[in-house]
Structure 1
Amino acid sequence: MSVRVRRALISVYDKSGLVDFARSLSNHGIELVSSGGTADHLRAAGLDVKGVADVTGAPEILGGRVKTLHPAIHGGILARPGHEADEADMEANGYEHFQLVVANLYPFRETVDDPRANDDDIIEQIDIGGPAMVRAAAKNHRHVGIVTSPDQYPAVLAALEEGGIPDDLLVDLAREAFFHTASYDAAIVGWLGNDLVIPLRWHSGLRYGENPQQSASVYLEDGARPWWVEARQYQGKEMSFNNYADAESAWRLASEMPEASVAIIKHTNPCGFAHSGSVSHAFEKAWECDPMSAFGSVIGIHGQIDEETARLIADRFIEVVVCSSVTPDALAILSKKKGLRLLEAPAPGSADQDFRRIEGGFLVQDRDTDIGETWEIVSERMPTEDEAVQLSTAMTVAMHAKSNAIVIFKDFAAVGVGAGDQSRVGAGRRAVLQAGERAHGAVAASDAFFPFRDGIDALAEAGVTAIVEPGGSRNDQEVIDAANEHGIALAFSGNRHFRH
């Protein structure tokens, strides 16, 4: 079954591609009815358009606030062809059916984002007639097609070439229409207060979630174009739930660092990081941090994968690599690794908020991105210039690790990572054990304060020479005294970086 279109109602804010679309409708013998600026736009292009006022017999009023809110319009949209009572009402009032409605809404979000807009400007962009038409047509989708985006014009025109709009397309258009108005209303709710309504589009199904017994899908925030959507996947199987989670962690950490940085992630925790003069050298240094954990890891590479780096990757078992770019020669080498998912991606955007599900609700917080603008040196010894730079980079890596986290850093590379430990001294001891002799002359960063001096003692015994931590413990003086005893330069960043 399909709907043959004889009459179309057009009222849009976004007029891109509209003239060509409307001309095609007219060429199919479809009568065009339009309102306000849309009618003027189409007439200026030489199209024959009947005004809404000519249909309703009523003028537009209140400066255009009321144009299409009239029984002649909504009756024409909502009436069911062949329904005895509906047809009787239509005939008694002299109304005619619409089979197609083309409508999109005022730019509310764009106006909210405009720093020049005041409340009156924003309120004027709360569309009333548009959503009413869209919802009416979507409700009556068995008999009316509803077009809410210029992106839908080609599909509708292709259907008309075949004689009418088929049922499956009518349903798709209606679903998109209700999403369109729901997303629009969500933006208004958010502007008016603290309530959050977050429209999410189904993007793709996944084979399973974190484990095979869990079903899972990927959803996309309305209007968002994140890096993983824009990414080009050169090879490998489809991304899994865990791949997405780890790739987000790897790519975000690598992208926050200078070019030629490599982040190695396992279960969303860094198990290696390095920045160097070349991507290949950074890769080798990052892998050396914890080769055992790096097996089956996900890697973010801020920079271009060249032939040398590709050979290093090819010699190891790696689940996913996300990179800035890859050379043809490198791609030829990596193409032989059929199990490797290789993605070329733009830098990740700045996500404003993090969400955590709890029973019956969500915890919402700003994303943690600030390692502290000014640090206080609380020890007797000042850090050297090199130590200060190393400490800053180490703290950024620690900020991306699960708490409790301590990262030992040397020559712009992590050499020991203690993450996800229930005690701070335990995290430090794990990092020391991993670093071994490499801890001599290294620096360390802690994502939260040391509650006692034992963590400082453990790092000092391993040979660490400088430490950064947020400070704020009731035992800060004890910790400072320990640093001074060991000749360690100690900085308080002022910002804690718990990650659960």
Structure 2
Amino acid sequence: MAVPAKNIPAPDLVPVRRALISVSDKTGIVTFAKALDERGIELVSTGGTAAALAKEGLRIRDVSELTGFPEIMDGRVKTLHPSVHGGLLGIRDDAEHAAAMERHGIQPIDLVIINLYPFEEVRFSGADYAATVENIDIGGPAMLRAAAKNHAYVAVVTDPADYDRVTAALEEHGGALSYRLRQELAAKAFARTAAYDAAISQWFAETLSISGPEWCAFGGRLQQVMRYGENPHQRAGFYITGERRPGVATARQVQGKQLSYNNINDTDAAFELVSEFDPARTAAVAIIKHANPCGVAEAPTLAEAYRKALACDPVSAFGGIIALNRTLDAEAAEEMVKIFTEVIIAPDATEEAQELIAAKKNLRLLLTGGVADPRAPGLTAKTVSGGLLVQTRDAGVVDDLELKVVTKRAPTEKELADLKFAFRVAKHVKSNAIVYAKDLATVGVGAGQMSRLDSSRIAARKAEDAAKAAGLDELLTRGSVVASDAFFPFADGLLAAIEAGATAVIQPGGSMRDEEVIAAADEHGIAMVFTGMRHFRH
């Protein structure tokens, strides 16, 4: 049964006479506290915060003086007390509440400044179980929620970025804060505690390997407000979760205009793909357009890999995203600035490369500090009407799979290298996915089609277009290999690939008609390998 409301109107302006301060992140807190002190606002504080403020000469009343009870249990119990929560939750214009506060000597608290133990940082720092649990804040969220619930009378500040805003509001209203501001700060406080609890619950589920927890929450902090979303009529924002996975969310933007919603989505797809290639083994480049690769290659140098990747589909590469698995050097940068590109993302870049990129003022350059681990666990989520679809990240890597030759002819060593390359790329192509590859470079990509046969034909046609653009008479797919993200349900898709000139195939297998597909491959002398792992990407 819902709790009935008393319907007591909230005052517009509430004077601030007493503030409770307890912060983990002490950025800007001394300046803010001094501004409050200069207005004659009584400052109540706890532990380390009280010591830091007292060191600066501020008059501080310790919370234990307010409660009449000392901090105990290593500070775990200090603010969970009626004198604190009564001062936060009391409805000042309710006679019963006011009488209870007077009877028990509870003093009202008008302003709460709290930020929480850095659980999110500790979670991703590699700390052990006990240290992570110890950084779960209890008193902080309790006070934030209490103050936010009673925003009719109490203002709650959770973010150092709001200190100046509150100081200015106090100045404007002669030491009082408006109802609208208290509402906005309350909304932010509830969002903060929700994201905090989401991080804690996710950590427990991951640590204890709980599959399909009954309740699941996701949270993040606003990194950027977008001008719009996928389309100009859609609003959008970019929120970060704190996961320390190298990529667009953790990258440092060296130059270029602000990233758009589509830029971020495509750049993430590009960097996740190129991270499949171990930089200690090879240089790799991926060119992405609309979250699909239009060219991927590996080579001894980035410049060579880029030229090979570009040759796959030079038309689609215009206005695309380029991702690298190694430090961008001048030789590669010289090649990349020859056509219009939206974003370049790499682990790092030399000074010479950055100078070359700087000539293209609108070209964004993002540096991640490393590549992502394709085997690392994690969660992905997407919204559907009324719900969330949540799954573990696709951490399958072809090098870890036991490949099974199912045809009479086994692939040659060169074909096998190309097959593994093609399957790495197919993992990052929208289903139904078909990838033709030769000499460790894509030569045709078919993505997002309703039938695998259409993907095979489109990929072959794209290869024809690329050959014409390069002035070549021979089809690029002649002598190539082909990868499919899922099994061939019929032999027709395979036959289309054979017609295009493919000599070897890699696919998961598992179709009811596998024998029919294998027989078609044997009939044409094609080598076929089963991986046993599917890579649907919707």
**What is the TM-score with the length of structure 1 in the denominator?**
0.81
Q: 1:402 aligns with which of 417, 420, 430?
A: 430
With 268-277 and 359-368 compared, the bigger mean Cα shift is at: 359-368
> Which residue matches 1:262?
285
1:363 aligns with 2:389: yes
State the alpha-carbon separation in 1 of the partners of residues 350 and 32 from structure 2: 46
Give 3-state SS (helix, strand or coil) of 1:491's partner.
strand
Moved more, 435-444 or 100-109: 100-109
Partner of 2:107 in structure 1?
A: 96
Residue 207 (str. 1) matches residue 219 (str. 2) = no
Distance 2:505 2:163 in 1: 60
Instruction: Kindly provide the CA deviation profile for residues 147-194 of structure 1, in whole angstroms up to 9, marking residues without a partner as x.
Output: 546777788799999996865876665444222322233346555843
**Bigger shift: 324-333 or 424-433?**
324-333
Of 324, 346, 349, 1:326 maps to 349
> Which structure 2 residues correspond to residues 175-324 of structure 1 after superposition, within 5 A?
175-187=187-199, 191=204, 193-212=213-232, 214-224=233-243, 227-259=247-279, 260-324=283-347
Structure 2 equivalent of residue 495 of structure 1: 533
SS of residue in 2 equivalent to 1:264: strand
1:389 partnered with 2:417: yes
Q: Secondary structure at the match of 1:439?
A: coil
Count of residue correspondences: 496
In structure 1, how many angstroms separate the alpha carbons of the residues matched to 2:226 and 2:55?
49
The equivalent residue for 2:472 is none
Q: CA deviation at 1:235?
A: 4.2
Matched, 1:130 2:140: yes
Q: In the alignment, residue 276 of structure 1 is paired with which amino acid?
A: A
Secondary structure of 1:304's counterpart equals coil
Unpaired runs of at least 5, structure 1: none
Name the residue aligned to 1:76. 87
Looking at structure 2, the residues matched to 362 and 23 of structure 1 have their Cα atoms a distance apart, in angstroms, of 42
Q: Distance in 2 between matches of 1:263 and 1:306?
A: 16
The Cα shift of 1:491 comes to 0.9
1:454–1:243 Cα change, 3 Å: same
Q: Which deviates the most, 154-163 or 93-102? A: 154-163
Cα separation, 1, equivalents of 2:77 and 2:534: 54
1:134 is displaced (CA, Å) by 1.7
Q: Is the 2:222–2:240 contact (alpha carbons within 8 Å) kept by the matching residues of 1? A: no
Q: CA deviation at 1:448?
A: 1.1
Counterpart position of 2:471: none
Unaligned runs of 5+ in 2: 1-11, 206-212, 465-474
CA distance in 2, matches of 1:308, 1:11: 53
2:467 paired residue number: none
1:418 matched to 2:430? The reply is no
User: d(CA) in 2 for partners of 1:234 and 1:25?
Assistant: 36
What is the deviation of 1:326?
Answer: 3.5
State the 1:215 CA deviation: 1.0
Q: Secondary structure at the match of 1:454?
A: helix
Deviation per CA, 1:384-437, whole angstroms, max 9, x where unpaired?
333222211110101111112111111111011122222223322332333352
Please give the TM-score of this superposition, normalised by the length of structure 2.
0.76
Which AA in structure 2 matches 1:219?
F
* Cα gap change, 1:269 to 1:145, in 2 (>3 Å): same
CA–CA distance in 2 between the matches of 1:248 and 1:322?
Answer: 9
Could you say what secondary structure the match of 1:411 adopts? coil
Q: How many Å separate the matches in 2 of 1:166 and 1:117? A: 42
Does the 8 Å CA contact 2:489/2:511 hold for their aligned counterparts? yes
1:427 pairs with 2:464: no
3-state SS, counterpart of residue 364 of structure 1: strand
Structure 2 distance, partners of 1:236, 1:336, is 10
**Contact 2:91 / 2:153 at 8 angstroms: preserved in 1?**
yes
* In structure 2, C-alpha distance between the alignment counterparts of 1:19 and 1:109, rounded to whole Å: 21
Contact 1:404 1:421 in 2 (8 A): yes
Equivalents in 2 of 1:278, 1:125: separation in Å?
45
> Alpha carbons of 1:443 and 1:336: their partners in 2 closer, same or farther (altered >3 Å)?
same
* 1:148/1:357 CA distance change after superposition, 3 Å: closer
2:365 & 2:71 partners in 1: Cα distance? 57
**Contact map agreement 2:347 2:371 (CA 8 A) in 1:** no
Per the TM alignment, residue 197 of structure 1 is displaced from its structure 2 partner at its CA by 1.9
Answering whether residue 515 of structure 2 is matched by residue 477 of structure 1, we say yes
- RMSD, matched Cα: 4.2
Residues 319-363 of structure 1, C-alpha deviations (whole Å, 9 max, x = no match):
332233334444444444344333333446557223233222222
Asked if the contact 2:149–2:186 (Cα under 8 Å) also holds between the matched residues in 1, the reply is yes
Which range is displaced more, 224-233 or 44-53? 44-53
Distance 1:94 1:103 in 2: 24
CA distance, structure 1, for counterparts of residue 143 and residue 359 of structure 2: 55
Q: Distance in 1 between matches of 2:365 and 2:444?
A: 27
Code of the residue aligned with 2:513 in structure 1: it is: N
Shift of 1:452: 2.8
Matches of 1:236 and 1:39, distance apart in 2: 43
Identity of aligned residues (%): 47
1:208 and 1:130, CA in 2 relative to 1: closer, same or farther beyond 3 A? closer
CA gap of 1:342–1:6, structure 2 versus 1, over 3 A, is: same
User: Do 1:11 and 1:102's aligned partners in 2 also have CA atoms closer than 8 Å?
Assistant: yes
CA distance in 1 between counterparts of 2:147 and 2:34 reads: 21
Q: In structure 2, do the counterparts of structure 1 residues 33 and 344 end up closer, same or farther at CA, with 3 Å as the change threshold?
A: closer
1:111 to 1:419, Cα distance in 2 relative to 1, 3 A: closer
Q: Does the 8 Å CA contact 2:16/2:41 hold for their aligned counterparts?
A: yes
Against the structure 1 CA distance between its residues 348 and 97, is the aligned structure 2 distance closer, same or farther, given a 3 Å change threshold?
farther
What is the aligned partner in structure 1 of residue 478 from structure 2?
Answer: 440
The offset of 1:236, in angstroms, is 3.9
Q: What is the Cα deviation at residue 45 of structure 1?
A: 11
Secondary structure at the aligned position of 2:197 is classed as helix
Determine the C-alpha separation between the residues in 1 that align with 2:25 and 2:340.
51
Match of 2:380 among 338, 354, 358: 354
Shift of 1:95: 3.0
SS in 2 for 1:495: coil
Change (3 A) 1:340 1:160: same
Q: What CA distance in whole angstroms lies between the structure 2 residues aligned with 1:211 and 1:50? A: 53
For 1:229 and 1:112, the matched residues in 2 are separated by: 17
2:7 aligned partner: none
